[in-house]
Amino acid sequence: MGANFNTINLKGERPDILGAFRGIQDDDRYENGHSYSGGFGMTTGLSFIEKSFASDDDADEWLIENCQKWEDALAVFVNDHYRIGAWCSS
Contact 70, 57 (CB under 8 A): no
What is the arithmetic mean of pLDDT over 16-30? 95
Q: What is the mean pLDDT of residues 24-34?
A: 88
Tell me: the pLDDT tens digits for 30-46? 988 777 788 999 999 99
Residue 51 has pLDDT above 80, yes or no: yes
| pTM, to two decimals | 0.93
Contacts with 77 (C-beta within 8 Å, 6 or more apart), sequence order = 51, 52, 53, 83
Residue 35 is predicted with a pLDDT of 78
Residue, of 78 and 2, whose pLDDT is higher: 78
- Band (pLDDT 50/70/90 cuts) for residue 85 is very high
Query: What's the pLDDT at 1?
Result: 66
